[in-house]
Amino acid sequence: MDEKERHSRTAMLIGDSGVGRLKNSGVAVFGLGGVGGMACEALARAGVGRFLLVDADTVSESNINRQVIATYDTVGRYKTDVMEERILSVNPSAQIVKKQLFYDSSTADEISLEGYDCVLDAIDSVPSKLLLIETAYRSAIGTVSCMGAGNKLDPTRFEAADIYETSVCPLARVMRSQLRKRGVSSLRVIYSKEEPVRPREGGSVPGSAPWCAPAAGLAAAGEVIKILLREENK
């Protein structure tokens, strides 16, 4: 395998030093669904060298419409296991740590962020998001957090901003209030300015389009890479 050839198109944009920086970087990814899974895929193809994968779920048939790791062949398998295989299939030298758990106050002690350069939050639960973001903030670890990607139809409305500059997104509104109370002064997020679409059928979970959740994930990966490359230039 020719690693230089594999990353040749990326190197045209960020240089060999940038590719080297990504290879020497570690990213902790929390949540491997439609957003987190696609973000992780992009980071792996970009050549990020180390991953912490955190997700308690197994692949279900309802995931197939939007999650890059979900196929009929992977239904029933742990998402962390499937994501590990995908990463290694495009980035064979990647080092991967897997945690098959739901991140909250009862499991947080099982996970160490030491040695990771960036955290990617693609968790659905608000209490878990707040805990992770505050933990990373207190540890001075760069973080990108994904706001709501459900009930959206326009992938072009996703953008990156500081949490305190967001609008429209209901989840971002809640997060702004709660993070302010916790003393978190800044957080890079991916959010959509599209007004949420009302699902045609009621249910306890939001609708999710295969052209929107992955778009948010790719935007999140781009923000993570900006943080990693910024570290190189300090």
Please give the pLDDT value at position 201.
73
Please give the pLDDT value at position 38.
99
pLDDT tens-digit map of 150-200: 999 999 999 999 999 999 999 999 999 999 999 999 999 999 999 999 888
Please give the pLDDT value at position 232.
53
Please give the pLDDT value at position 199.
85
Beta bridge partners of 28: 52, 119
- How much is the average pLDDT of 131-146? 98
Q: 110-130 burial, b for 16+ CB within 10 Å, e for fewer?
A: ebebeebbbbbbbbbeeebbb
Check whether 51 has a pLDDT greater than 60: yes
Sign of the four-CA dihedral 77, 83, 84, 90: positive
Amino acid at 44: A
Please give the pLDDT value at position 202.
66
For residues 172 and 147, is the Cβ–Cβ distance under 8 A? yes
Please give the pLDDT value at position 135.
98
Please give the pLDDT value at position 78.
99
Domain that holds residue 143: 3-232
Grade residue 231 by pLDDT with cuts at 50, 70 and 90: low
Grade residue 109 by pLDDT with cuts at 50, 70 and 90: very high
- How much is the average pLDDT of 19-37? 98
d(CA 163, CA 179): 9
Q: Which residue from 220, 1, 193 is spatially nearest to 90, judged by alpha carbons?
A: 1
How big is the chain by its Cα radius of gyration, in Å? 17
Specify the CATH number for the domain of residue 66. 3.40.50.720
pLDDT tens-digit map of 61-82: 999 999 999 999 999 999 999 9
**Is pLDDT larger for residue 232 or for residue 29?**
29
- How much is the average pLDDT of 78-99? 98
d(CA 44, CA 92): 10
Grade residue 204 by pLDDT with cuts at 50, 70 and 90: confident
Domain count of the fold of the chain: 1
pTM attached to this predicted model: 0.95
